[in-house]
């Protein structure tokens, strides 16, 4: 699985099956990513195999998530090279979209935003996190906004408006304090253009 290889590279700086096993056994936040990728891979199989493998994968993902204190539904779109640093307390809405080489620290919330329009109808929106974004501890990002490529969201920031690429934002409400920043991506995974990534909805 291309995405799992990328996730492993982000954690260890390289990929091997032994490192996947090591991370699964010893790192609770990495285990959540492994089981999420397993669910998504099982969902792509033909019906007989999908029926056989998806349910146990979902059960394993649920147990892994509960033990890690992380809420990321298995259907969530997360690009290759995700890093859940410390991990505990992360909450991600299933309809959020997360790009490649994104780093999420503990306590991050990527949630939906509800509003009532002029006709009295409820409008629900979800956040989009582009590639190479770094999101610090306990940051909150609401729906209907985009965090641009390579931006950094400081710990504790509450982001209610879209952020352009390569910006640093801090505070509540979040404000831009630096532009043209260098993206903060440890062990960046460079995708093989011939390999497919997890881009579809589940």
The residues with which 134 forms a beta bridge, in sequence order, are: 103, 152
pLDDT digits (tens, 9 = 90+) for 83-94: 999 999 999 999
pLDDT digits (tens, 9 = 90+) for 105-161: 999 999 999 989 899 999 999 999 999 999 999 999 998 999 999 999 999 999 999
Residue 76 contacts residue 1 (beta carbons within 8 Å): no
- Report CA 80 to chain centroid distance, whole Å: 9
Is it the case that residue 202 has pLDDT exceeding 50? no
Annotated domain spans of the chain:
1-69, 76-184
CATH class of domain segment(s) 76-184: mainly beta
Is it the case that residue 169 has pLDDT exceeding 80? yes
pLDDT digits (tens, 9 = 90+) for 10-59: 999 999 999 999 999 999 999 999 999 999 999 999 988 998 999 999 99
78 token code pair: 């997360």
Is it the case that residue 101 has pLDDT exceeding 50? yes
Q: What does residue 10 show for φ and ψ, rounded to 5 degrees?
A: -60, -35
d(CA 56, CA 171): 42
Is the C-alpha dihedral spanning 99, 9, 104, 165 positive or negative?
negative
């Amino acid at each position: 699985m291309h995405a799992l290889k990328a996730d492993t590279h982000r954690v260890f700086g390289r990929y091997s099956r032994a490192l996947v096993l090591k991370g699964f056994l010893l790192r609770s936040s990495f285990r959540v990513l492994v089981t999420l990728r397993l669910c998504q891979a099982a969902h792509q199989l033909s019906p007989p195999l999908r029926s056989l493998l998806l349910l146990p994968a979902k059960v394993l993902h649920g147990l892994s998530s509960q033990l890690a204190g992380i809420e990321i539904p298995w259907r969530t779109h997360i690009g290759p090279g995700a890093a859940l640093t410390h991990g505990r307390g992360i909450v991600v809405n299933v309809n959020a979209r997360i790009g490649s080489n994104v780093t999420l620290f503990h306590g991050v919330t990527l949630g939906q935003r509800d509003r009532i329009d002029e006709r009295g109808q409820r409008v629900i929106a979800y956040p989009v996190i582009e590639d190479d974004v770094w999101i610090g501890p306990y940051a909150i990002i609401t729906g209907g906004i985009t965090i641009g490529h390579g931006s950094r969201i400081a710990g504790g920031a509450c982001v209610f408006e879209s952020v352009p690429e390569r910006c640093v934002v801090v505070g509540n409400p979040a404000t831009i304090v630096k532009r043209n920043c260098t993206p903060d991506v440890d062990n960046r995974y460079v995708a093989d253009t011939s390999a497919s990534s997890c881009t579809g909805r589940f």
